[in-house]
Amino acid sequence: MLRRAFFLLCLWPSCLFSAAPYLPITANFELRADETQWHIVTKERNTPVIRCYFYQGTNAWGGTNWSARFKYAKDDGSTNMSTITGTVYTTTGTSYTAYYTNGYAWTVTGVTYATYADFQATTNTFQYEFNKWYSTVLLNTGDYNISQASGLITVKRSPEL
């Protein structure tokens, strides 16, 4: 009985921190298409989650029913791009903003959105090293496509694997 209790006590902290590490990027769809918005650096044969947060200007973009793909290739003229299909998450929460006019405080309740996509790489996603390849996040729903946000991705050698 004491062994089980000790085992569960040792296992419990690992359950609290079991989420996989991720590489965060931000996609702002209001910026010009030729602006580099991120530079991801990872290692060959690693399996990172690339987490992309979506913005429209300074506001978090709250899209529902959209699909997302992370695409990359040697340059932006490539017609054959590698693709990682993402899972889109939209969360909402209540925020409070206080406005002060003539000494009075007014509270406004609003809804905030946090939309992001997780792109899970697998062991064969980044099989070899490359430097500063073009990458983009493509969002689409129905007949609408947007890939305004783009950046770079570098994959370094990984001799330990």
| Of 55, 47, 41, the residue nearest 21 (C-alpha) | 47
Provide the 10 A C-beta neighbour count for residue 143. Answer: 5
Domain at 20-156: CATH architecture: Sandwich (2.60)
Domain ranges of the chain: 20-156
44-83 tens-digit pLDDT:
998 999 999 988 888 778 777 889 999 999 999 999 999 9
Distance separating alpha carbons of residues 53 and 101, to the nearest angstrom: 34
Structure-model confidence comparison of residues 18 and 79, the more confident one: 79
Paired with 3 in beta bridges are none
Structure-model confidence comparison of residues 1 and 39, the more confident one: 39
Mean pLDDT of 129-157: 93
Length of the chain: 161
- Per the CB < 8 A criterion, the answer to whether 125 and 84 are in contact is yes
> What is the value of pTM for the model shown?
0.75
